[in-house]
Amino acid sequence: MKEENFIDYELIFEIHNASDQAYLKSILGAEGITYFIQGEHVAPFIFHSVPMRLMVQKDQAAKVREFLKDFKLSSAYDGLKR
């Protein structure tokens, strides 16, 4: 039987702006961070009703929080999640 690889993700913050999403994807990709944006395909069609949630691999969360702590995004609610 094949063993499944499980990746534990952690919420970093929630956004509603597609330009913030694109900005984050470019930064995280350049840094080699394992992430996904929950709701990225639904949120643009339900404006401000469903947030996009930046989820990163749990063991990379502290690193992501550190280099994103001074970034000012246009629509991140309450900043970084702790």
Residue type, 19: S
Note whether 12 and 65 are within 8 A (CB): yes
51 near 43, Cβ under 8 Å?
yes
Per-residue pLDDT tens for 4-58?
A: 777 899 999 888 777 888 888 998 999 999 999 988 877 666 666 678 889 999 9
Number of H helices, E strands in the chain: 2, 3
Is residue 17 packed enough to be buried (19+ CB in 10 Å), middle (13-18) or exposed (0-12)? middle
Please indicate, yes or no, whether the overall pTM of this predicted structure exceeds 0.85: no
Domain edges within the chain: 9-68
Locate 41 and state its tokens.
């395909």
